[in-house]
Amino acid sequence: MAGKVLTITSGKGGVGKTTVTANLGVALALHSQRVTVIDADIGLRNLDVMLGLENRIVYDLVDVVEGRCRLRQALVRDKRLQELFLLPAAQTRDKTAVSPQDMVQVCDDLRQSFDFLLIDSPAGIEQGFQNAVAPADGILIVTNPEVAAVRDADRIIGLLEAEEKGPAHLIINRLKPKLVERGDMLDTATVVELLAIQLIGIVPEDESVIAAANTGRPIAFDDGVTGRSFHDIARRLLGENIPFAPLKEPGFFDRLLRIVRPEGG
C-alpha cells in the first residue's frame, strides 16, 4: 500500500495552512484513514500546539534526518485518535537543516504504513516551501478571499506548474458570507476564476477556530458548520462527490424545518 502525500501551502502567511492541516488530519482520521501530519515549518512550529501534542514531543524531523533517532520514534500519536500521528518540526533549528531529498526519503518511508501524509508548508517560496512540496503527490492551496492572498496563491500555483507538481486544489479559508453578500469580500466564484484551479473546499470564518487552536482541540472534532466543512474536504479527498453546502448557520426557520423532519440533519 502506498499512501498519498498532500502538501498544504499558500505563499502568504496567516491564511490558515496549519489550521487546515490539523483539521484535515483529524477529519481524515475520523474517516478511518491512517494519517501522519508533518510540520515542515522548522524553527516556527505550530502544528503540535494546534493538536495539543506539544508536551509529548521527544524527537523531531531534524533528529530523524540527522540520524539521532528512528523515524518511528519521532512520530507522536494523537491523544484522541489512534489513527493520527504527528511528525513535529524542530523549534531550535532553521529550514536549512532539511533538504528536499530528506523530505522525499522520510515520506517514502512513511508512505508504506499510512493512507495520507499531510505536510504543513511554511509561508514563503524559499527553501522551506521547496522542502514541503518536494515529496508531494498533490497540493492543497489555501487562500483567503482577499486580493493579496489570492495573488500569492497565484504565484505558488505558477511555481508548482513550472516544476510540474500537482494536481493542485484550492481551499478558500475564512470566508465571511455576510461580507460577500454586501460585496465587501471577494466571492468564491471570483477567486476560482482568478486562480483557475479546481476548488475542493470552502471554510467559513469562525471565531471558535481561535479557541480551538488555543486549547489544542481542532474544530473538526465538533459538529458545526466549520467542522463539517473540513469533513467535506476529507470526503472529497476520499473520492466522494459532495456538493458545496451553504455556509450559513441554520436560521430559526431551518431549525423549525429540522424539527418537523428530524431525518434531515
Partner 1 sequence: MAEDPITVKGIRDGLLITLGEGPWEERLLRLAGRLQAGATFFQGGRAALDVGARELDGEQIERVRDLLARSGVELWALLSSCDATVIAAVRAGLVPDLELGLPAQQSAPTQEPPAPTGALVVERTLRSGQRLEHPGDVVIIGDVHAGAEVVAGRHVVVWGWLRGMVHAGAMGDDSAIVCALGLAPTQLRIAGHISRSPDEKQRDVVPEMARVRNGRIEAIPWQ
- In the bound state with partner 1, the residue whose beta carbon lies nearer, of 167 and 224, is 167
**Neighbouring C-beta atoms of residue 198, cutoff 10 Å:** 11
Residue 180, interface with partner 1 (CB under 8 A)?
A: no
CB of 40 to partner 1, least distance (A): 21
159 binds partner 1 (CB under 8 A): yes
165 binds partner 1 (CB under 8 A): no
Q: How far apart, in whole angstroms, are the C-alpha atoms of residue 196 and residue 193?
A: 5
Interface residues for partner 1 in 211-240 (CB under 8 A)? none
Specify the length of the chain in residues: 265
157 binds partner 1 (CB under 8 A): yes
Residue 51 or residue 157: which is nearer to partner 1 going by CB?
A: 157
By CB under 8 A, residue 154 contacts partner 1: yes
Cell numbers placing 219:
474544530
Among 158, 167, 224, 250, contact with partner 1 (rule: CB under 8 A)? 158
The least distance separating partner 1 from the CB of residue 170, rounded to whole angstroms, comes to 13
* Number of CB atoms found within 10 A of residue 128's CB: 22
- Rounded distance between C-alpha atoms, residue 41 and residue 1, angstroms: 28
The residue among 145, 153, 151, 199 whose CA lies nearest residue 177 is 145
Q: How near is the Cβ of 129 to partner 1 at its closest, in Å?
A: 13
Report how many residues bind partner 1 under the rule CB under 8 A.
11
Q: How far is the CB of 125 from partner 1 (least distance, A)?
A: 8
DSSP secondary structure letters along 132-163: HHTT-SEEEEEE-SSHHHHHHHHHHHHHHHHT
232: left (phi over 0), alpha (psi -120 to 50) or beta: alpha
Q: Does 196 bind partner 1 (CB under 8 A)?
A: yes
Q: Does 155 bind partner 1 (CB under 8 A)?
A: yes
Chain residues binding partner 1 by CB under 8 A are 151-152, 154-155, 157-159, 161-162, 194, 196
